[in-house]
Chain A
Amino acid sequence: MHVAMYIFGILTFVSACGVVFSRKSLHSALSLVATLFLVAVHFALLEADFLATLQVLIYAGAIMVLVVFVIMLLGLDEQVENPVLKLPALFAALLCGIFAGVFVYVFSKASILFVVAEPSSPTVLGDAHSVARLLFTEYIFPFEVVGVLLLAAVIGAALLAREDKRPLLPGRGLKAKRKEFAPVPDDEPRAESRGE
């Protein structure tokens, strides 16, 4: 347990550094896939089987497919970003170092704060059955709200990503659209839809 924990922990840290410091965005994406898989391994080591499965399915599967799809769609896989070594970047690095240092200090000291928390029942396992039991009884309302949130996200994404993104004001509805898509004479210039 401990050996695996340390090995996978170091690997996670290294691949997370790869996400931040890679010069190509596709390399960042691949490092992120590795990081997400390694975090799933940590979930499995922490007896959260259900979450480990979800991590692989949702994060490493669905979300990363979206990210890589967008990178390929925009043709950013050949773009090389030069490393930023200016003063603001160094200042940010210093700030994040202090941030991490404070966290590590607090966590190394704070373990006495929750020493009482021995697992009361050793059979608490994060398998799908027990998590779902909690999710569909006590947390049923947040679960429904999350469903609504996902619906709103789908509608919002479709609205944002469509080609013509003028707002659907009165006069911009379906009837106006139909009129707009009717064949126009060539000498009449069409309204420019984009900003530039």
Chain B
Amino acid sequence: MEVVTFYLVLGAMLFSLGTLGVLIRKNAIVMFMCIELMLNGVNLTFVALARHMGGLEAQVFVFFVFAVAAAEAAVGLAIILAVFRNYRSIEVDNASRLAG
């Protein structure tokens, strides 16, 4: 198997596993970690294609994804803390007061 194909498949696997985790887990922190998994799958795809195409622009994009992921981690974990403070649990099913 070609190197780039292998990494594209691996990135797709990581992305799908992350999607599955977001869908089946109820724990907000685990869902958050699965989102990080999805971001990593995309990053891997970016870097594999950067190497295949012989350019560096995709690596710059991965850098921006890192920065956005860091921002997301800070805000997301703060939201989880706030939800825990109000509901004494981080199961996402409990925090459904806005849903009719």
Expressed in whole angstroms, the Cα–Cα distance for A126 and B48 within the complex equals 12
Contact of B70 among A36, A88, A96, A153 (CB under 8 A): A153
How many A residues face the partner with a CB closer than 8 A? 87
List the one stretch of A142-150, A168-176, A177-185 in contact with chain B: A142-150
Residues of B within 8 A of A16 (CB): 13-14, 17-18, 37
- Nearest chain A CB to B38's CB is how many angstroms away? 10
CB neighbours (8 Å) of B37 from chain A are 16, 19-20, 32, 35
Total B residues in contact with A, Cβ cutoff 8 Å? 69
Cβ contacts under 8 Å, A99 to chain B: 16, 19
User: Is the contact region of chain A dominated by helix, strand, or loop, or is it mixed?
Assistant: helix
Asked if A134 contacts B56 (CB within 8 A), the reply is yes
Return 19 A-B CB contacts under 8 Å, by A number.
A19-B17, A19-B33, A25-B29, A28-B33, A36-B36, A66-B73, A70-B80, A74-B81, A74-B90, A84-B26, A99-B19, A103-B9, A117-B53, A131-B63, A135-B63, A139-B60, A156-B74, A157-B74, A159-B78
User: Measuring CB to CB, which residues of chain A are less than 8 angstroms from any residue of chain B?
Assistant: 1-2, 5-6, 9, 12-13, 16-17, 19-20, 22, 25, 28-29, 32, 35-36, 39, 42-43, 46-48, 50-51, 54-55, 58-59, 62-63, 66-67, 70-71, 73-74, 76, 79, 81, 84, 88-89, 92-93, 95-97, 99-100, 103-104, 107-108, 111, 114, 117-122, 124, 126, 130-131, 134-135, 139, 142, 146, 149-150, 152-154, 156-161, 165, 194-196
